[in-house]
C-alpha cells in the first residue's frame, strides 16, 4: 500500500486537527487486534451498545475509561494458581490481557456497563446540547405587526 503524506493538509486547515489525526491513523498499517471480538449496535435514535465477548474475565479484571473522545476497555487476568494435578492437552480459552479502543463521536458518552454470561455490554448515549439543537423560528408577516389607528369623526 502506498503511503499518503497529509502534511500539506495540516498547513492549509485550521480547526480540523481531529479529522487530520483520524486520516493519519487510517493511513497506518493495520495493527489492530482481533481479540476480543465485539459488536456495535444501534438501540435507539441516540443510543448505542458495544458488546464484547470477554469469557473468563470477572468484573474486577475489566476497566472501562473514556478520555478525549476515546473509549478504552482493558482486561487483565489475575494470576491463577495452576492446579498441580491438571495437565492441559489443549488450551483454547484465552487468558491474555487486552486493550481495545473505540473512537467516540462528539457528545457521545458511556452511560453504563454490565457483564452477563461472558458478554460485556457498554451502553452509549448521544446528548446534543440545547444550544446546538435545531430550533424552529416562527415566520410573521408585516401586516400582522402594523397597528391600526382609528380616527374619531369630528
Question: Does 18 have pLDDT greater than 70?
Answer: no
- Range of weakest confidence among 4-18, 73-87, 90-104: 4-18
Looking at residue 30, what is its pLDDT?
A: 53
Q: Is 57 exposed, middle or buried (0-12, 13-18, 19+ CB in 10 A)?
A: buried
Span(s) in the chain for CATH 2.60.40.790: 34-81+88-129
3-state SS of 16-74 is CHHHHHHHHHHHCCCCCCCCCCEEEEECCCCEEEEEEECCCCCHHHEEEEEECCEEEEE
Looking at residue 2, what is its pLDDT?
A: 58
**Taking the CA of residue 54 as centre, how many other CA atoms within 13 Å lie in the half-sphere pointing to its CB?**
26
Paired residues of 123 in beta bridges:
49, 112
CATH architecture under which domain 34-81+88-129 falls: Sandwich (2.60)
Looking at residue 90, what is its pLDDT?
A: 85
122: pLDDT confidence band, cut at 50, 70 and 90? very high
Task: Say if residues 17 and 11 touch (Cβ distance below 8 Å).
Answer: no
Looking at residue 11, what is its pLDDT?
A: 63
Show Cβ contacts of residue 102 under 8 Å, excluding neighbours closer than 6 positions.
40, 50, 70, 71, 72, 73
| CA 83 to chain CA mean position, Å | 40
Q: How high does pLDDT run on average in the chain?
A: 78
Amino acid at each position: 500500500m502506498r503511503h499518503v503524506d497529509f502534511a500539506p493538509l495540516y498547513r492549509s486547515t485550521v480547526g480540523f486537527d481531529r479529522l487530520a489525526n483520524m486520516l493519519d491513523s487510517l493511513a497506518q498499517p493495520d495493527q489492530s487486534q482481533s481479540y476480543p471480538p465485539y459488536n456495535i449496535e444501534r438501540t435507539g435514535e441516540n443510543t448505542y451498545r458495544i458488546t464484547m465477548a470477554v469469557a473468563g474475565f470477572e468484573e474486577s479484571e475489566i476497566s472501562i475509561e473514556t478520555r478525549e473522545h476515546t473509549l478504552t476497555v482493558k482486561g487483565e487476568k489475575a494470576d491463577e494458581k495452576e492446579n498441580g494435578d491438571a495437565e492441559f492437552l489443549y488450551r483454547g480459552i484465552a487468558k491474555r490481557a487486552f486493550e481495545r479502543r473505540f473512537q467516540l463521536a462528539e457528545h457521545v458518552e458511556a452511560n453504563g456497563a454490565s457483564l452477563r454470561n461472558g458478554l460485556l455490554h457498554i451502553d452509549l448515549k448521544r446528548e446534543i446540547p440545547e444550544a446546538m439543537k435545531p430550533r424552529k423560528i416562527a415566520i410573521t408577516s408585516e401586516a400582522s405587526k402594523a397597528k391600526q389607528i382609528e380616527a374619531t369623526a369630528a
